[in-house]
Structures are given as structure tokens and as C-alpha cells.
């Protein structure tokens, strides 16, 4: 098996040693994605809706760079700083996955920086 990193143009600088995505045998693993712009600044401070949208746009860019679409997503791991943001996250999430949404879970978790409200990691099958 050969795995290759997937790093879309304009990706934010990583906060730790990782690649935005790894493609191996048609499976794309997208790292936990936070609301960070290409300059490393937090997007949507205090706004779970804005952060969810930014995170899903960033995930979309990784999937697109790997040759896929959101329809290829099979599983999402969702982390919320506070479960009071669950409804706001779901409103945006449904825009990106309106039909046949992928499997997922959503838990409350401490995120790497206090200003982050939403983090999502994704698995997609980019079939050959």
C-alpha cells in the first residue's frame, strides 16, 4: 500500500505534524479540521455556524484535491466544544449532506485552542 498526502492549495499552516489528508488505496482520511484560514487565524470566533461552514469547506477542498466529492464521504467524526452548539452545527451540516448523509458521531470534547468550537475529521472512499 502506498499512501500519499493530500494538501490543497491555500491550506492553513498545520498546528502539529500532520497532513490535511492522506489517500491510501482509494480511502481518503481527512485530519481533524478546525476553523483556521490560510494565514493561521481563527475564523468565526464565538460562532459555531461560521466555524462549521469553514470546517466543511476546508474538508471539501481536501476531498476535491484527492479527486472526490462530498458524496464520497462515508464517515464523519464531529467534536463540539459545547453541546449547546449541536443544533447550529446540524443546520450547516445538513446543507453539505442534504440526502443520504454519511455515518457519523458527535461528542463534546476539549479542542486544541479555546476559540475553536467545532472540529470534524472525515473518511471518504474515492473509488477507482
- Residue 88's CATH number: 3.30.1330.40
Q: For residues 29 and 22, is the Cβ–Cβ distance under 8 A?
A: yes
Q: pLDDT 10s per residue in the chain (128 long)? A: 789 999 999 888 887 888 999 999 999 999 999 999 999 999 999 999 999 999 999 999 999 999 999 999 999 999 999 999 999 999 999 999 999 999 999 999 999 999 999 999 999 999 76
Number of structural domains in the chain: 1
Domain residues for the domain of 11 are 3-125
Amino acid at each position: 500500500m502506498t499512501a500519499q498526502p493530500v494538501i490543497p492549495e491555500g491550506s492553513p499552516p498545520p498546528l502539529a505534524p500532520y497532513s490535511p489528508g492522506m489517500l491510501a488505496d482509494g480511502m481518503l482520511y481527512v485530519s481533524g479540521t478546525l476553523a483556521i484560514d490560510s494565514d493561521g487565524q481563527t475564523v468565526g470566533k464565538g460562532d459555531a455556524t461560521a466555524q462549521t461552514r469553514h470546517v466543511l469547506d476546508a474538508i471539501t477542498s481536501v476531498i476535491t484535491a484527492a479527486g472526490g466529492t462530498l458524496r464520497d464521504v462515508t464517515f464523519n467524526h464531529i467534536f463540539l466544544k459545547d453541546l449547546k452548539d449541536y443544533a447550529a452545527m446540524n443546520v450547516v451540516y445538513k446543507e453539505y449532506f442534504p440526502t443520504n448523509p454519511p455515518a457519523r458521531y458527535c461528542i463534546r470534547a476539549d479542542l486544541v485552542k479555546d476559540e475553536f468550537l467545532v472540529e470534524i475529521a472525515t473518511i471518504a472512499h474515492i473509488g477507482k
